[in-house]
A and B are shown apart, each in its own frame.
Chain A
Amino acid sequence: MKKSEIPDPFAAQRSKCGYETIDDQNDPVTMLLRHKDVRKTAHNYKTFTSEAVPGRIVVPSEVNIRDTRQIPFEVDPPKHGAYRSVLEAWFKRPNNAGYQEALTTMVSSIIEEMLAKESLEVVNEFALPLQSRALTLLLNTPFKESETWISWGTHVFRSEGEALDADKANVLYDYIERELDRAIANPSDDLYSVLMQSDFDGRKLTKEEAKGVMVLTFAGGRDTVINAVTNAIAYFADHPKSLKRLRKEPEIITNAVEEMIRYFSPLTHMGRVVTEDTQVCEHAAKADSRVSLCWASANRDENVFENPDEIVLNRKINPHVGFGFSHHNCLGATHARQILRILLKELSEKIESIDILDLKENIEQWGRFQRKVGYHKISVKFNAITP
């Protein structure tokens, strides 16, 4: 097995019965494993709500560590759409040329930094700083803020022991609280200030709502982006020919990014709370129980994807659900896509090959399934293209 490979632990169960119930802090979750069920259930917000007690749709559940409702993530239509339309234009800014130029400078300079080193640990020395620096663009905050975020380490909600860590969550909440107070006292053109001035439902957004958006922005885009970036580096280490191919055919980079999102599925699954007794995939789902939409499994569904366990760089038809699906699809997807597109372009132009020196896989445990989602650490050496 290649080191960069991400196996699909759900395959057998997906074809046999399509779901699996796992425990989570005595609030069990039925994971839906098939592409069709995942999309249908994601779409049906009336029966499968996101608007439960804050933290309950997340697996592992965060009900014991937070009360703040993440917005628009934990709100259903029609209110969801109203929030979303307040945020949409801001979160589409990554499509602007100026944003992409700034991001290109960031990516290019961090690659140059890494090229100067004998070896580097990708998660902490590359992916985390890159994610944090890029986030200053999304928030439109000073670059130096990224130093604070880098100092938090790779887990905002989880400590190394995987357990839910209320102390770490508090670091983030206190930070956001301070930033919002600053934005209220001294408005600027950053996201905090824009939120505090936004109109919603005939009034301004409240501080608690703004906090809900900011927590989502920080938490949702952290591990996911870090894993995607790290997994991409590991993939290129195993497939130097792919780097060469992207150099020759930069026009397939967009497809390559979508394919990596499918294959990596940086977020394994996301829950919903059942609002009425119903059935999904022949499974009786009781009101007030939980199901989860297993993006990682759906993205390997052999009924939808040919050669699902292979990265096909120029896959043309790719209805993946790596950014979720339907109303609640990822708010940060435009930003994440730009990071990855620019990363692939810059790597392909600067790097000949990558050597993996040492690694420790990050394996999640979901009931009896073990899923590799990325790496705790992976040391590599970047080899520059020699002119």
Chain B
Amino acid sequence: MAKITFITSDEQRITVEGFSGSVMALAVENGIKGIDGDCGGVCSCATCHVHVAPEDVTKTGEASEIETDMLELDDHADQYSRLSCQLQISEVLDGVVLRVAK
């Protein structure tokens, strides 16, 4: 189990619990504003973009090349950017804080 906190663009802090699947799917299930997950998680739409809190990047790990290439062409991306469909829920992610990009 992992507790994950989303901060939306209107500064709402929402903490939800997930067991498996992707962080994007968890966010969509919980109606987190700004995470649409249009492509269902295949790394094609970037509507699941989040900024990981700097102190949590060790937990989320490195993005793959395909994900990085995608983020490079996103105007709002920075070094903490991730596509949340590429983050798999596990104990490792417990406590992470993600700021929704949109």
> Which residues in A have some Cβ–Cβ distance to B below 8 Å?
36, 39-40, 43, 92, 95, 254-255, 257-258, 304, 315-321, 323, 325-326, 329, 333-334, 337
How far is B85's CA from A258's CA once the two chains are assembled, in angstroms? 15
How far is B66's CA from A320's CA once the two chains are assembled, in angstroms? 11
Sample 6 A-B pairs with CB under 8 A, ordered by A number.
Answer: A255-B42, A316-B42, A319-B66, A320-B42, A320-B44, A334-B38
How far is B45's CA from A329's CA once the two chains are assembled, in angstroms? 9
How far is B72's CA from A40's CA once the two chains are assembled, in angstroms? 10
Write the nearest CB–CB distance from A46 to chain B, whole angstroms.
12
- Given contacts A254-B39, A318-B43, could you give 5 more A-B pairs where the C-beta distance is less than 8 Å? A43-B73, A258-B39, A320-B44, A326-B73, A337-B38
Tell whether, in the assembled complex, residue B70 and residue A319 are in contact, meaning their CB atoms are under 8 Å apart. Answer: yes
Number of residues of chain B lying within 8 A (CB) of chain A = 14
Max count, chain A CB within 10 A of own CB: residue among B38, B44, B69, B73: B44
Tell whether, in the assembled complex, residue B38 and residue A317 are in contact, meaning their CB atoms are under 8 Å apart. Answer: no
Give chain B residues whose Cβ lies under 8 Å from the Cβ of A321: 44
> Which residues in B have some Cβ–Cβ distance to A below 8 Å?
36, 38-45, 64, 66, 69-70, 73
Write the nearest CB–CB distance from B67 to chain A, whole angstroms.
8
Tell whether, in the assembled complex, residue B73 and residue A318 are in contact, meaning their CB atoms are under 8 Å apart. Answer: no
Max count, chain A CB within 10 A of own CB: residue among B38, B39, B43, B69: B39
Write the nearest CB–CB distance from A261 to chain B, whole angstroms.
9
Give chain A residues whose Cβ lies under 8 Å from the Cβ of B43: 317-319
Give chain A residues whose Cβ lies under 8 Å from the Cβ of B44: 258, 318-321, 323
Tell whether, in the assembled complex, residue A333 and residue B38 are in contact, meaning their CB atoms are under 8 Å apart. Answer: yes
Tell whether, in the assembled complex, residue B66 and residue A92 are in contact, meaning their CB atoms are under 8 Å apart. Answer: no
Write the nearest CB–CB distance from A179 to chain B, whole angstroms.
28
Tell whether, in the assembled complex, residue A40 and residue B73 are in contact, meaning their CB atoms are under 8 Å apart. Answer: yes
Write the nearest CB–CB distance from B40 to chain A, whole angstroms.
3
Give chain A residues whose Cβ lies under 8 Å from the Cβ of B73: 39-40, 43, 325-326
